[in-house]
Homo-oligomer: A and B are copies of this chain.
């Protein structure tokens, strides 16, 4: 556990290696956070929830650092306003990295001490590890947002977009699944976030899932057919949003003239040719839902997605590792869900309104972080995540 933890910690630091110093405080919008903030916040998480309560003699960080790097934990006190994280030029990266080393040393001390086997400590260390992995993906998607707002269109790193190549060139086809009473949610002993449980039964009617993700060429047809101009395809709320914000294509498509002829997209490697057969990405739920309606199909529920994997995992291409997949399911608690006691109970449980679930994982998700029961969630208008879609009917 300790070795894994330190490796994950190390990976976070390696993610900022390709950056220029000025990039470290880049916050493109209120929803995103600067890279340095992610490095500090994940460290604060261990400092606050694991080391302060469990490591004897450990002195917590400066309360002003805690104020700066608490994200949303009401139980951990007041916080710096989220939309203004970009103004936090201090502490410097040098100070943050030094803090990371101290915290890593303290984690090493705790996890090699006689107390290390306590269940609380094990669970919090594991939670902190997965928390840090989540922020690794957030860091990259936030960075893509911040870079996309600059006229110079910086590239993060050669190869950063490499894993999201074209889909397998086989014909997309429907995978039929039988209805019935199924059990979904995390049941076993391994790590999972609280919102993945309890495991519970759910009734499904017969359904089918597409074995491929929707690709750029597919989505181009939607645009060419007036997809962004036909209100009957959209939720009323989504129509209002796209009219107001002037959406005419996925977030990072680039080009001139009619959007269905745009040929480029902005990526972590800078502006690139838009690969026609790569899965379409950086879509809001509203766009995914409208596209599905236009096809005469729909988005799968999260239960359908999970059950299809239980039954047909090998047939269902790219369930993981390409793009998170929007589902038709609002993010709500599973029957019997109880958040963990204390501040870490705020991790997932308080966000269960006005968001939709995404399933799977993306090419930005750290290896080993994905699970079939994983419930990611974002607001239906959000587009900066690594999100795509798979059809159901």
Contacts and interface: CB of A to CB of B under 8 A. Distances in A.
A152 interface: yes
B20 A235 contact: no
Q: How many copies does the complex hold?
A: 4
B353 A237 contact: yes
B350 A236 contact: yes
Nearest to A233: B350
Size class of the contact patch on chain A:
35 or more
B335 A150 contact: no
Q: Is the interface of A mostly helix, strand, loop or mixed?
A: mixed
Interface in A247-288: 285-286
Contact of A89 (B26, B75, B238): B26
Contact of A328 (B25, B328, B332, B336): B332
Interface string A82-122: 00101111111100000000000000000000000000000
A232 B74 CA distance: 8
Nearest to A62: B152
A93 B24 CA distance: 13
Contact of A235 (B23, B72, B231, B353): B353
B149 A90 contact: no
A17 to B, nearest CB: 15
Given A25-B25, A89-B150, A380-B353, A203 B232 contact: no
A87 B336 CA distance: 44
Contacts of A321: none
B232 A75 contact: yes
Nearest to A235: B353
A51 to B, nearest CB: 21
A22 B93 contact: yes
Contacts of A28: 87
A194 to B, nearest CB: 14
Given A181-B181, A354-B380, A80 B151 contact: yes
Nearest to A81: B149
Contact of A237 (B21, B354, B356, B380): B354
28 contacts: A20-B92, A21-B21, A21-B22, A21-B24, A21-B92, A22-B22, A22-B24, A22-B36, A22-B93, A25-B89, A28-B87, A68-B151, A75-B232, A86-B86, A86-B87, A87-B146, A87-B150, A89-B146, A90-B152, A181-B181, A201-B203, A235-B350, A236-B346, A285-B353, A289-B353, A329-B332, A330-B330, A353-B356
The 10 closest A-B pairs by CB, nearest first: A21-B21, A203-B203, A330-B330, A74-B231, A22-B89, A236-B350, A64-B151, A90-B152, A235-B353, A23-B89
